[in-house]
Structure 1
Amino acid sequence: MPFLSDRFHDQQQGGTPALNGLNRTGTFDAAAIAERIGRRVLGQDDIVEEIRQALVVVQAGFHDRERPLSTLLLVGPTGVGKTEIVRRLAAELRSGPDDFCRVDMGQLAQEHYAAALSGAPPGYSGSREGSSVFDRPAIEGSPFIPGIVLFDEVEKAHPVVLRALLGLLDRGMLALSNGEQRISFRNAFVFLTSNLGSADIARRRGSRRQRVLDAIPGTGGLRRSQDHATIDAALRDFFDPEFLNRIDRVLRFNEISRHVAHDVVQLHLNEARELLRRRGVEMECRPGALEALVDVGFDPVHGARSLQRALRRHVLAPTAELLVAARADATEQLRVRLEPEAAGRSGVRVRSV
């Protein structure tokens, strides 16, 4: 099967219709895709730019045809958008945000799980079928659609499992244990995520000295440099050099700042209001409600996930209570108001109006 980059400049008669970020010739607009991803993955402009550059290299056909389209290691604390950026790319290049192969490396923590990558050896159940943890269609793609695979939390896998990935990352091919089949990764974007270094960063941030430095204006750049150095040291300590040498780019995600948290809450609140509108609920947001929701949910350690939990607990759950009660009373339409708590109390409340 020819690879995606070979098809970028080939005009085919009767080609497939446009799919998300792909146009009818199978090429894509890397800048437009990056711009749309940036609307959803907030506070990570440098990462989005790196994704754009990786797409441009593939679009131009300048990548190595005997390796995956691109191999990217995404590193940073939880809740900063590592998995979300893969989902957004899948939404652009494939049929939707969940249309990619995700391998949870935390489930491959034992040495014998290395067989899950290459399948059962000859003589064992499933060897002829070539079964493995991989979703082959999502990896190999199709004539105009690249594959995407995510090795999530790669540091949790056993070292033997990681070594089993070396050939895949280097040559873009995985030979199954039955000796009869291979899976090609040469038409796929390969992502790996890791939280290495995040615990060390969190401990340093919690120190009294660091809190004093963080309070000094203009020290954000120095703090990010320290974080990146901590992450790089953790990667060198954990991974063998030959493993890191097979990574095209290491993308270091920044933690969610309070300013970015405000934008994240606004994004998810807009989505929640649209969801409620489809359920027949109109929501009005009073001044101060958004900031109060940030106050309740902002946690630099847990990032956007903490904000999403606050939204579910303080907005969606009480609104659901009001909606169920309104339906019991045969009320045709429900209008609610999101407002900050009364003076002297923190948080937000939802009221029926």
Structure 2
Amino acid sequence: LLSECTPEAANHLDLRAPGFLSHFARVDLPEPDQPALVGIVESKVAFLAHKYGVRLSPAVVTEALRLHQWFTPYSGLPGKTLHLMEGLIQSRAESDHPEALLDTDDLYGRFSHDTGLPRLIIDPVAELDPAALTAFFRGHIFGQEAAIDTLVDLIVSIKAAVIRRGKPLGSLLFAGPTGVGKTEMTKVLAQFLFGGRDRMIRFDMSEYQDLPALMRLTGDDGRGEGLLTAAVRHQPFSVVLFDELEKAHPLFYDLLLQITGEGRLTSATGRVADFCSTLIIMTSNIGTATFQTGQAGFGARAPGEAEVVNHFVRAVQDHFRPELFNRLDRVLAFAPLQPEVIRQIVDREIDLIQHWERLQQRQVQLDIPPEVRVWLGEQGYHPQYGARFLQRALRSHLLSPLAEAMNQLSDTRPQVVQLQVAGEVLALHLVPREEAAAADRLGLINRITAVRRVYQQVQAGQVCLHLQNALDELQQRLERLRRKGKEEEFWREAATAQRHQRLQAITGRIDGLGDELVDLELALMARLGQWQVQAGMAGRLTLWEEHYRDLRMDLMQMAFPQYNTVTMGLYGHVDTLFLMEKAYRQVAEQMGFSLKVSYVRHDPSHDEGPYVQVPRRAQAGDQLCGLLMTGHGDMIFLLLREEAGLQERVLSSGETVLVWGHVKDLPLSAYVVPTGIHRQEFFRQEKARRTFRDQGGVVDSKYEVDVPKLRFGAFLNRYLPQRLDQAIMEHLLRK
């Protein structure tokens, strides 16, 4: 009577039936050493190749052994390698080209198919580009650059085979608030490493808070194979996610120590689940309650990367036992999502919605203009709940109304979903595509007509007339000199010749764009029924508008060069100054400007006056009373000029603090700090032109807007570019 089993199964049998194994003579069969392994595999593979008539590259055997020893160290050798090689040889023998050489390319393809591991991970020759890998993760995860960089480093280490084997490929803890991408990152890892998001095995640890529930993971509840051990045995190449780790029963941490340290876990039935080919991910909200991102809702003071990492690492280290913390390869801190990140997620979610199968079947097309996307991002932003709050906003404002409208739709014609913001709600209308196309045709005609009328007003405005008059004067002077035979005098004056050239060029552009617009309008009217032609003309009009924007800026540059310099002083509540500084700098950077910042402190003893500019925020004993932002760029003064005046901020506590803005089209060296700015009486001289709340909401009397939910940073992002465009048009249309 012969019997065989693994050492783990023998130990389990001895526990269940003591003395039973004493009836057998035990023979231990250790795994052969490396030379013996190679010899056994080569001999068997040569026999199989001869049997099936397949030619084999000599490197295939040694490479197959390397792959199994590195990526499946738990598998018994040489059996696992022989099984793989037999399958490869049989497949080649049954293929259309059995005479072709079976080489390492075939081996990598088969191993990748069986395990899910990508070719560029298992093939030592294939190049893994960290930049391309980073771009892959950034295409799925937004706003978590530090976490992405850490994961890229881990994957590069797996590729380079510099990690220690005999344990999981990695043991990572994702820490951070809810809704910031921790679970999504885990799914993306499973997709990249093992070929699909279904390769993620997830355990919600809030379901394992008591001992009976915990015993289900290893089968100690007497109900058969354990949930955890069975899942890993069934799919050893996977990402194992322990979600909300801090909610698990304390004894689970002992199981986790065994998994992360030895890469193995034995079920109650004695079957061993090996975790050496898995990536262990744990998520936790530890530290979220005490994490401070600055004043709530302001959006301007984002914590630095090091600050986020240090906070969550300390919180994790304080919560978990030292031996468990030391088993973690990385603690990845996920920062709260900022409004601009939510806006990116809105675009991705809308793109996914547009590819819904039901929309494709009903031939329904979504028409979501940029202003609706911005509005959805604003409605879906919450500093505490991240992307989950956005998902609720999308369901409430877009998906539920869309589903209701489609359920009531009886028209079988292709439809266009038109959306527009109507106060606090989103207006949704389903319009037959033919009617929408007709409306688009009419809208295009009206658009061109309106643009032409405004353009003609710009041509008749003070700026264009002034430039044309300046050119006429130079032309008359040139003509007089030409009649006297002294034309070379005109061209010898370098400044005059250069100005003449610039004026000729820009007036030529003014006339050329005007003629192009008239031609476009006439061509559209002549081909009214040809929609394909009109679609092309819409593109031409968009291109024309881009050229027109460039022309407007060049006109302003020639007429008002002093507006390319600005110095803005902000004075008042110190913490608010720092927050506003960040907000203004973010807006300026997004528009291609750069602001340099210095600070103002009150020092009555200073020889040059009571206000001293310092390059740093504050030193011990400083009486900081303001900051100065100076910048240079195309019409930057017009961007910030209307930010002058008193602003009122309502803190989360209900307290009100004040900041006064002072904007001049001057360089920093010519700017003078207003006298008495350090005194409270100074701020009582005028009424606040703007009030903004930390909880959300901005009222601005100068801009004549009242937005109840918008926060300060988002308010600047929305309105400052608009006000710049309005200011430019006001100057160009001025008679």
Question: The TM-score by the shorter chain falls in which range?
Answer: 0.7 to 0.9
Residue 131 in structure 1 maps to residue 215 in structure 2: no
SS of the counterpart of 2:355? helix
Match of 2:340 in 1: 259
Per the alignment, residue 144 of structure 1 pairs with none
Deviations along 1:91-122, one digit per CA (max 9) or x if unpaired, are 2232421322111111110134332232227x
Deviations 1:301-342 (A, max 9, x none): 11111111211221121112222222xx2422121112212x
Which of 428, 431, 439 is the aligned partner of 1:350?
428
- Mapped contact 2:168–2:277 kept (Cα < 8 A): yes
Instruction: Give the C-alpha shift of residue 226 in structure 1.
Output: 4.2
Confirm or deny that 1:159 pairs with 2:250. Answer: yes
1:16 is aligned to 2:107: no
Aligned mate of 1:140, from 236, 241, 247 = 236
C-alpha distance in 1 between matches for 2:175 and 2:329: 14
CA contact (8 A) 2:233 2:274 kept: no
Separation (CA, whole Å) in 2 of partners of 1:216 and 1:266: 20
Q: Specify the code of the residue in structure 2 equivalent to 1:162.
A: Y
* Structure 1 position 352, deviation (Å): 1.9
The corresponding residue for 1:189 is 279
Q: Deviations over 1:21-52 (max 9, x none)?
A: 71288447463344222111101111111111
Deviations 1:161-217 (A, max 9, x none): 112210111111112233x3211111111111000011122xx45xxxx428x8596
TM-score of the superposition, structure 2-length normalised? 0.42
- Is the contact made by 2:121 and 2:158 (CA closer than 8 Å) also made in structure 1? no
SS at match of 2:198: coil
Measured in 1, the distance between the counterparts of 2:317 and 2:386 equals 25
Of the structure 1 ranges 157-166 and 271-280, higher mean CA displacement relative to structure 2 is found in 271-280
Distance verdict in 2 for CA 1:30–1:75, change over 3 Å? farther
1:287: how far off?
3.8
Q: CA deviation at 1:136?
A: 2.0
Counterpart-to-counterpart distance in 1, 2:148 and 2:72: 21
2:137 matches 1:37: yes
Aligned residue among 352, 360, 369 for 1:278: 360
Q: 1:297 to 1:138 in 2, by over 3 A?
A: farther
Query: d(CA) in 2 for partners of 1:187 and 1:116?
Result: 23
SS of 2:202's equivalent in the other structure is strand
* CA–CA separation in structure 1 for the residues paired with 2:72 and 2:156: 11
Give the letter aligned to residue 313 of structure 2: D
2:204–2:244 contact (8 Å) kept in structure 1: yes
Aligned partner of 1:301: which letter? Q
- 1:159 partner SS: coil
> Is the partner of 1:117 in helix, strand or coil?
coil
Alignment pair present for 1:293 and 2:372:
no
Within 5 Å, give how 1:1-353 maps onto structure 2. Answer: 2-4=69-71, 11=104, 13-14=106-107, 15-16=109-110, 22-23=118-119, 26-27=122-123, 29=128, 31=130, 32-120=132-220, 124-126=222-224, 130-134=225-229, 135-137=231-233, 139-141=235-237, 147-178=238-269, 180-201=270-291, 204-205=292-293, 210-211=294-295, 219-222=301-304, 224-275=305-356, 277-279=359-361, 280-326=363-409, 329-341=410-422, 345-353=423-431
What's the CA shift for 1:54?
0.5
Check conservation: 1:167, 1:173, Cα contact below 8 A.
Answer: yes
The structure-2 alpha-carbon separation of the partners of 1:45 and 1:91, relative to structure 1 and needing over 3 Å to count, comes to: same
> What code does the residue aligned with 1:131 have?
G
Local SS of the residue matching 2:227: coil
Question: Whole-Å Cα distance in 2 between the matches of residues 220 and 55 of structure 1?
Answer: 29
Structure of higher RCO (CA pairs closer than 8 Å, 6+ residues apart): 1
Give the AA of the match of 1:68: P
Contact conserved, 2:176 with 2:285, CA < 8 A, in 1?
yes
| Contact 1:101/1:138, CA 8 A, preserved across alignment | no
* Deviation sequence 1:108-153 (CA, Å, 0-9, x none): 10134332232227xx442xxx333341256512xxxxx2111111
How far apart are residue 81 of structure 1 and its match? 0.5
Q: In structure 2, how many angstroms separate the alpha carbons of the residues matched to 1:17 and 1:336? A: 47
Q: CA deviation at 1:158?
A: 1.1
Equivalent-residue separation in structure 2 for 1:164 and 1:112 (angstroms) = 15
CA 154–30 in structure 1, closer or farther in 2 if over 3 Å, else same: farther
Q: Which deviates the most, 92-101 or 104-113?
A: 92-101
Alpha-carbon separation, structure 1, partners of 2:201 and 2:122: 21
Contact 2:368 2:419 in 1 (8 A): yes
Partners of 2:235 and 2:328 lie apart in 1 by 18
Structure 1 distance, partners of 2:339, 2:299, is 16
* Contact 2:117/2:195 (8 A) holds in 1: no
Relative to structure 1, is the Cα distance of residues 234 and 25 closer, same or farther in structure 2, using a 3 angstrom cutoff?
closer
Counterpart CA distance in 2 for 1:216 and 1:25 is: 40
User: The residue matched to 2:259 in structure 1 has which SS?
Assistant: helix
Q: Residue type matched to 1:2 in 2?
A: Q
- Name the CA shift for 1:78/1:176 in 2 (closer, same or farther; >3 Å): same
- Number of paired residues? 326
Rg comparison, structure with higher value: 2
Counterpart residue type for residue 251 of structure 2: V
The 3-state SS of whatever aligns with 1:86 is helix
CA contact (8 A) 2:118 2:195 kept: no
Shift of 1:284: 0.8
In 2: Cα distance, 1:41 partner to 1:106 partner? 25
CA RMSD of aligned residues (A): 2.7
CA drift of 1:277 comes to 4.3
TM-score (normalizing by structure 1): 0.83
Residues 320 and 302 (structure 1 numbering): CA distance in 2 closer, same or farther, change over 3 Å?
same
**Structure 1: any 5+ residue segments left out of the alignment?**
142-146
Distance 1:350 1:249, change over 3 A: same
